[in-house]
Structure 1
């Protein structure tokens, strides 16, 4: 009679079962740990990634794919790596110092020891104007892209009507809360995340319906001489400007200052706290006849949107005027936020922005350059061309997905551009107005030129303006990333105070005049507090890489400006 191995050695079976259960429990615990960390810390990366596949990207990616095929995919990848590196620098600046990039620029140039007016009017205010110009160029692309998407979804809607609809929609969503508060506005981040996933899913479905030669497509990620062909470098700079967005650096540094672990109220200074609002609304529900209470509660909430509270004004007045008059975040805060934020930013940019941009360029290449659209190198495709050809060759369902993805991209990017404008105005000008008023002003700054363009130029010239807006962003970019690289490379600005207990080396016998508190009553040395600093600045390698990226962007922009001046631009 034979026995099974388990019957012959029951201890081995029990050991194996116990080991499997141990590994399952370990994996379960690790999965929940990752989920909890992602739930708390994910947000900044997804919000910032939106800026890297906005309608401006769509316009320039469609142009690149329809004119040069897969050859410029390398530029998309390189631009994504540049964006991830610079966005990590902005994230580090916000987490370590507790201040955004715009506020740091004000501290650098507003109150210099010598030649104050020269620094203010020669450096600070021109830098602010360039930042606002970048936001206007971004908003122009976002509003026009959303308007085009609405026109594609609803052909009877004129382009200028689409601009009005998307502008009003953004204001309605932003009125729900202040995304730049000391605590993250999770509802705002969830809305952005939903729009990002909508874009990715729509593009993946469209790509799945197209016959693509993936071998040549992947070869496009390898650098080729096509990049330096006539007009290709202009388009490459447009891709760079569409990918590495100045306003996203401002916004990313601001969102990185938020405390994502504290459970305190989001808005303790609000005139109507959560508890009092709950009591008032409960009282109204229980006593329907007291509608006046509801009216007063609504009026108080609306009034709080347009009035700056006294605590906010005191916080503005108490802002330090230079870096030597302020302290960075505590070491515990930096350690609990910094590396989670860096992983969030890199994974979001490479996992969403680069992939979506690559899919748009692959779509344009397969349909226009290699497919039946075959526009060739002389006729770049527009958003309207792409929609029409997708509808004719793939089907109406794919065309609707294309329009919906464009709308989701434009709406999410419009939200980001408006919030970034709020951050820029707060940081550079120290505005003493409410966040809603700041968002209104920022929205109008972008809405007015978009309306003019939609009415005067019409659909035929929109694609040209989309690409031109991205080239303008690329030209402005070196002026924005210069202070970012300088700030993050400075150990004086990026150091965090570390208070650690250490043993005193002085005993009563050796030092009779030692101050009280250094020794215990029995003569033994006691623990004393000694202060030093932890340096979070970029090392030599990272700083050198940052300056190299700055030089590459600067050289490409100089080339484009010269070629445009000679009448040889794209």
Structure 2
């Protein structure tokens, strides 16, 4: 028998634990919302899909955060549509990795942080936790600064105050979690819809060359040959495939009360993958739209060095000949920043609880995760102003790219281990693709380190 299921009752919540782990996992992930949303046992395909829809959109938020904007603006304004292929490849990688993340959570009853704690030794788990916290801090930093920039552009609020307002506001939003996780999902989906509509209008106004856009989705050898282009491409990779999203997704799929049987888990995996794939296709549209907008509005008019969000905001109205182009851009940025800080806070809670196995009051956990982002953002904003925040956005995405392997490799290891996954272990094809992605990410990041420090 490859897999023995042991059910432990804690606070009336059943946690299923397969064999193959060094430690038992007695605490459910995100206990306040664990198995809190019912899944209909009977009903058609779409009724069940609706019950599982939501977590994928929370994950997709991380793929369209303000850090993506900085790298996509830089890539589009400098190299036209060439780097669209990098966005497409990154998105395909993200779809595969998020599917593995959802499967890990559903099958093992562990999020990725708990799985690392229960598999690796304490020193290794501690190092992984520190690296993950750095990645979340870098990501959160970009999100907080992005929302603060949007408030500054729309309402002329100073950046420092914008950082504080954004951080405080997201704590209020998270109070809705006490009323039910569905409220969080509705807010996130509404903000994603806002971003999508804004960029749909922007694309219509920018009149991109669709034949050139299509060519941009075809990979080019020029990306590898040009060091500057490769650096931005790696930034796009780090901004698109987000390490903390792998931890987040493996946790929030467990908010659904699916049956703890082979059939129930298969159904949960199927619908969760559909949910995340559809949501990530929306993220692809948003990320591609930012780069296409930068290429059609800036590259074609000779503004080839637009890498800062503030510069893009100022140039859009005169270039596109519209009085609302800049406003739409800033509204989408604000929605993106607010969305991303919300999911980033959840990810911080999951990582801290999962790796350290500590139980704190929800408001204490959220305050800690917010301070990790607020303090550096305030310091950089006060000392360096707008220029410093722009540089920090790009740097944060490079940090995320460097940390990515430390989340991807354990994920692929666990989901490819038959003792841990039982009948749900990755097939030979899935295992091959997953390890190929992990190796590509590791090699590209090694190259990034080499060129950064020795060239």
Question: For this structure pair, what is the TM-score category when the shorter chain's length is used for normalisation?
Answer: 0.7 to 0.9
Asked if structure 2 preserves the Cα contact closer than 8 Å seen for 1:40 and 1:260, the reply is no
| 1:164 corresponds to | 164
| 1:211 corresponds to | 207
Asked if structure 2 preserves the Cα contact closer than 8 Å seen for 1:92 and 1:338, the reply is yes
Which segments of structure 1 move beyond 3 Å, counting only runs of 4 or more? 32-35
**Cα deviation digits, residues 182-211 of structure 1 (max 9, x gap):** xx7100000000000100000001111112
Aligned alpha-carbon RMSD (Å) = 1.5
Separation in 2 of the partners of 1:435 and 1:71?
Answer: 44
Separation in 2 of the partners of 1:396 and 1:440?
Answer: 39
| Deviation at residue 34 of structure 1 after TM alignment | 4.5
| 2:295 corresponds to | 365
Q: How does 1:301-380 map to 2 (within 5 A)?
A: 329-350=260-281, 352-370=282-300, 372=301, 374-376=302-304, 379-380=305-306
| 1:414 corresponds to | 341
- 1:233 paired to 2:159: no
SS of 2:81 mapped into structure 1: helix
Asked if structure 2 preserves the Cα contact closer than 8 Å seen for 1:178 and 1:435, the reply is no
**Cα deviation digits, residues 88-139 of structure 1 (max 9, x gap):** 0000001111111101111012xxxxxxxxx312x11010000000100000
**Cα deviation digits, residues 464-510 of structure 1 (max 9, x gap):** 21111001000000011111000000111112xxxxxxxxxxxxxxx
Asked if structure 2 preserves the Cα contact closer than 8 Å seen for 1:64 and 1:380, the reply is no
Q: Structure 1 residue aligned with 2:442, among 532, 536, 554? A: 554
Q: How does 1:433-452 map to 2 (within 5 A)?
A: 433-452=360-379
SS of 2:255 mapped into structure 1: coil
Evaluate the alpha carbon distance shift between residue 129 and residue 356 of structure 1 in structure 2; reply closer, same or farther with a 3 A threshold.
Answer: same
Q: Structure 1 residue aligned with 2:253, among 237, 253, 256? A: 256
Evaluate the alpha carbon distance shift between residue 455 and residue 240 of structure 1 in structure 2; reply closer, same or farther with a 3 A threshold.
Answer: same
Separation in 1 of the partners of 2:449 and 2:209?
Answer: 36
- 1:33 paired to 2:29: no
Give the TM-score, by structure 2 length: 0.88
- 1:42 paired to 2:38: no
Which has more radius of gyration?
1
- 1:381 paired to 2:288: no
Asked if structure 1 preserves the Cα contact closer than 8 Å seen for 2:106 and 2:254, the reply is yes
| 1:105 corresponds to | 116
| Deviation at residue 39 of structure 1 after TM alignment | 2.2
Q: How does 1:25-174 map to 2 (within 5 A)?
A: 33-109=44-120, 119-121=121-123, 123-155=124-156, 157-174=157-174
| Deviation at residue 460 of structure 1 after TM alignment | 1.6
Separation in 2 of the partners of 1:539 and 1:332?
Answer: 18
| Deviation at residue 225 of structure 1 after TM alignment | 2.4
- 1:222 paired to 2:232: no
| 1:404 corresponds to | 331
| Deviation at residue 420 of structure 1 after TM alignment | 0.2
Separation in 2 of the partners of 1:53 and 1:388?
Answer: 21
Separation in 2 of the partners of 1:137 and 1:214?
Answer: 35
Asked if structure 2 preserves the Cα contact closer than 8 Å seen for 1:368 and 1:375, the reply is yes
| Deviation at residue 178 of structure 1 after TM alignment | 5.2
Separation in 1 of the partners of 2:385 and 2:442?
Answer: 33
Asked if structure 1 preserves the Cα contact closer than 8 Å seen for 2:239 and 2:397, the reply is yes
SS of 2:307 mapped into structure 1: coil
Asked if structure 1 preserves the Cα contact closer than 8 Å seen for 2:66 and 2:142, the reply is yes
Separation in 1 of the partners of 2:333 and 2:221?
Answer: 31
Q: How does 1:262-277 map to 2 (within 5 A)?
A: none
Give the number of the structure whose residues are more often helix, by fraction: 2
Evaluate the alpha carbon distance shift between residue 260 and residue 396 of structure 1 in structure 2; reply closer, same or farther with a 3 A threshold.
Answer: farther
- 1:188 paired to 2:184: yes
Separation in 2 of the partners of 1:127 and 1:460?
Answer: 32
| Deviation at residue 436 of structure 1 after TM alignment | 2.0
Asked if structure 1 preserves the Cα contact closer than 8 Å seen for 2:160 and 2:378, the reply is yes
Separation in 1 of the partners of 2:404 and 2:55?
Answer: 21
Separation in 2 of the partners of 1:545 and 1:424?
Answer: 26
| 2:32 corresponds to | none
Asked if structure 2 preserves the Cα contact closer than 8 Å seen for 1:59 and 1:383, the reply is yes
Asked if structure 2 preserves the Cα contact closer than 8 Å seen for 1:250 and 1:424, the reply is yes
Separation in 2 of the partners of 1:414 and 1:457?
Answer: 22
- 1:460 paired to 2:387: yes
Separation in 1 of the partners of 2:345 and 2:257?
Answer: 22
**Cα deviation digits, residues 388-423 of structure 1 (max 9, x gap):** 111222323111111000000010000000000000
Asked if structure 2 preserves the Cα contact closer than 8 Å seen for 1:151 and 1:162, the reply is yes
Q: Which piece of structure 1 moves more, 158-167 or 330-339? A: 330-339
